[in-house]
Amino acid sequence: MAVSDLSFLALCALLPIIFLIFLKLIVRPRPIKIPIKSRHVLITGGSSGIGLALANQAAAEGARVTILARNLEKLEEAKASIRLSTGIDVAIVSADVCDFEAVKEAVDSVGPIDVLVCNQGVFVAQELENQEMKEIRDMIEINLIGTFNLVKAALPAMKSRTDRKPVSIAFMSSQAGQVGIYGYTAYSASKFGLRGLAEALQQEVIADNIHVSVIFPPDTDTPGLAEENKRKPRLTSIIAASSGAMKADEVAKKAWSGIKSGSFFVPCNLEGFMLSVATAGLSPQRSYLMAFVEVISAGLMRVAGLCFQWSWYGSIENFHAQHK
Ligand X SMILES: CCCCCCCCCCCCCCCC(=O)[C@@H](N)CO
Q: Which residues contribute to the site for ligand NDP (CB under 6 A)?
A: 44-45, 47-51, 69-71, 74, 96-98, 119-123, 142, 146, 172, 174, 217, 219-220, 222-225
Q: How far is the CB of 203 from ligand X (least distance, A)?
A: 27
173 counts as catalytic: yes
CA distances from 33 to 55, 132, 160, 257 (A): 19, 44, 20, 10
In this structure, the strands spanning 64-69 and 91-94 are parallel
Instruction: Indicate the residue among 111 and 244 with the shorter CB distance to ligand X.
Output: 244
Of 283, 305, 315, 316, the one binding ligand X by CB under 6 A:
305
The interface mask with ligand X, positions 151-190, x = CB under 6 A, is -----------------------xxx--x-x---------
**Residue 266 phi, psi dihedral angles, 5° rounding:** -125, 95
Q: How far apart are CA 154 and CA 142, in angstroms?
A: 17
Nearer to ligand NDP, 45 or 193 (CB): 45
CB-neighbour burial class of residue 50 (10 A; exposed 0-12, middle 13-18, buried 19+): buried
In order, the DSSP letters of 108-168 are HHH---SEEEE---------GGGS-HHHHHHIIIIIIIHHHHHHHHHHHHHHT-SS---EE
Active site residue 315: no
CA distance 83 to 56: 9
Q: Which of residues 119-138 bind ligand X (CB under 6 A)?
A: 123
- Which residues ranging from 242 to 271 are in contact with ligand X (CB under 6 A)? 242-243, 271
Catalytic residue among 174, 182, 184, 191: 191
161 in Cβ contact with 167 (< 8 Å): yes
Dist CA 28 CA 161 (whole Å): 25
Beta pairing partners, 40? 64
Question: Which of the stretches 26-34, 63-71, 199-207, 273-281 binds ligand X when contact is defined by CB under 6 A?
Answer: 273-281
Q: Does 209 bind ligand X (CB under 6 A)?
A: no
Options 187, 190, 243, 263, the catalytic residue = 187
* Site residues for ligand X per CB under 6 A: 123, 174-176, 179, 181, 218-219, 225, 228, 240, 242-243, 271, 274-275, 278, 301, 304-305, 308
Annotated catalytic residues are 173, 187, 191
